[in-house]
A and B are shown apart, each in its own frame.
Chain A
Amino acid sequence: MVYALTYKPVQRLPNPMVSINPLKRGTGRIVSLQDRVDQLNKSAVWKKVVREWRSINKNLDSLRLPRISMERLGSLWIDEDIQRPMDELHCAKIADPSIYDPALMQCVQCIKTTSGIFISIDTQHTAAAFAALIDAGLMTGTTDWREIEFPFQYIETDNLAFARKAFGILNGKGKKRQSAYMQLRTSVFCIRIDGNRSDSYDVEVENKVKIAENNHCYPIEEKSRLSQHPGTFANIATFLTLNDNEVEIACKWHNTYFHYEPLHVSLFFIFKDICRSFKNFKVTITPKLLEDLAALVQDRFGDLQQYQESVTEAHRKWSTQRYGQADNWKDHAYACALLQLYVKLGGTEHIPAILLDQFDGIVDFFDDEITTVGG
């Protein structure tokens, strides 16, 4: 049987991401707070929340702003009915030698009762790790953590219910967590804007991003309007699991054959598995195999997103027949099913058997129009 699928080249159009890639460089702009206020005043969601405030006729009291003072760390108390039990592992992570720096400490947040007692409502782990590092003799300039002055942010109240609610707000939905993209952006900008290569993780991340960009592939924030542009992807966590060589092969393949499409995350799963299995079994990933796979995706699915829909459905049917019920999706099925389909359609390049054994028979659960030779 001859492999009959041929990749048909698609005319390359200029990719706007080349010039609008947000990671290319910082904006170089430092704006006033007024700029942000003006932005909010024009925003529909902000106008809506202001209307809500007005509709309930509620005003804010600026006197309720918290105060900040330097206090003896030994004066901090933790109410165990308010805060969670201390998580030692979390403290150990805070004190990670590769990132810990007293200059990055945040104020401990507490209430101050009328009897002058400071009760922590947040940041117990920060305070505990800091004190324990001094206790271990690792801090110069002090030997007694009880006496060191630490920034306390507090409001004066005897109302423990306030403290309890505050803890919930500070650790719950009130806190906007940094997205994976924003963390990646921080690493990239440390290198590109600040020229600071002292953190090996930042260097590693920036290098992966550079390899992707050199192949016209661009990390973006989730739900970004940039997601319609070719080469963009938002699944940062998966991207970062690939090594440099895997990023290079995956992104080059996308840029060579599917330069007109956003990048689907299955690409990373497929090439991670292909690269690692081929390497383990000392099999070469040939240019012919790469082009044959592109032909298969283009001809039978149009793109990897449609492949993902089809393989998910095939996996569901396959596992139902084999195990009596649908199994949860397994990311390894991306590469295994694609290569099994390749072989079924007459592909002749050498594939390590391990990739053909897993999910054995899954190809039979694709639609006929996909598996028919010469279809």
Chain B
Amino acid sequence: MYYLYLMRSPSGRTGFGICQDYFDRNKKYISHIGDLVQFSYIYGGTRAHAKKVERNIKQNLEDNRWTIDNWKTEWLDNLAIDDLKKYVDDLIERQHIKLELVRIDYDITQEK
């Protein structure tokens, strides 16, 4: 199982990424940021399909990608997280992508 997560930075910027272990990935964000941070939406499915959606976001929303020091990050400017979720949901439905929503507003404290 592979996962695609959508999240908000502490300042509200929309972000995304893929991982094999969302507990571990969430923990790393918390360590970097120094505060609890939630993955607003986590989709689970095959690795190939998770990577396909991530690539689609990077390519088709390229103009929104927050770029700093000539580095295109996996954060998006001027796009609310619910708009990104709608984009992903539409993509999954239209292209029959094998991903489904498995968690909402997740952080590692929920594992207890």
Q: Which residues of A contact B (CB under 8 A)?
A: 8, 10-11, 227-228, 260, 298-303, 305-307, 309-310, 367, 369-370
Contacts and interface: CB of A to CB of B under 8 A. Distances in A.
Contacts of B49: 301-302, 306
Contacts of A367: 47
Which applies to chain B's interface (DSSP): helix, strand, loop or mixed?
Answer: helix
Given A228-B59, A228-B62, A305-B55, A8 B96 contact: yes
A134 to B, nearest CB: 53
B103 interface: no
Nearest to A301: B48
Interface in B7-65: 46-49, 51-52, 55, 59-60, 62
A341 B74 CA distance: 33
Nearest to A300: B48
Interface string B61-98: 01000000000000000000000000000000011111
Contacts of B98: 299, 302
A254 to B, nearest CB: 15
Contact of A310 (B48, B96, B97): B48
A45 to B, nearest CB: 13
B95 A369 contact: no
Nearest to B97: A302
A227 B94 CA distance: 20
Nearest to A225: B62
Nearest to B99: A302
A309 to B, nearest CB: 7
Given A228-B60, A228-B62, A370 B96 contact: no
Contacts of A299: 98
A309 B95 contact: no
Interface of B: 46-49, 51-52, 55, 59-60, 62, 94-98
Nearest to B45: A369
Nearest to A258: B95
Contacts of A301: 48-49, 52
B47 A11 contact: no
Contacts of B52: 301-303, 305-306
Given A302-B48, A302-B98, 17 more contacts: A227-B59, A228-B59, A228-B62, A260-B95, A298-B96, A300-B46, A300-B48, A301-B48, A301-B49, A302-B49, A302-B51, A303-B52, A306-B49, A307-B48, A309-B51, A367-B47, A369-B48
Nearest to A8: B96
A249 B82 CA distance: 41
Contacts of B95: 10, 260, 302
B96 A369 contact: no
The residue in B48, B59, B62, B97 that gathers the most chain A C-beta atoms within 10 A of its C-beta is B48
B46 A10 contact: no
A369 B48 CA distance: 9
Given A228-B59, A228-B60, A11 B48 contact: no
A367 to B, nearest CB: 6
Contact of A306 (B48, B59, B60, B96): B48
Contact of A369 (B46, B59, B62, B97): B46
A298 B47 CA distance: 13
A257 B97 CA distance: 14
Nearest to B49: A302
Contacts of A10: 94-96
A301 B59 CA distance: 18
The residue in B46, B62, B97 that gathers the most chain A C-beta atoms within 10 A of its C-beta is B46
A33 B97 CA distance: 50
A300 B52 CA distance: 11
Nearest to A370: B48
A149 to B, nearest CB: 52
Contacts of A260: 94-95
A306 B62 contact: no
A260 B59 CA distance: 14
A132 B50 CA distance: 62
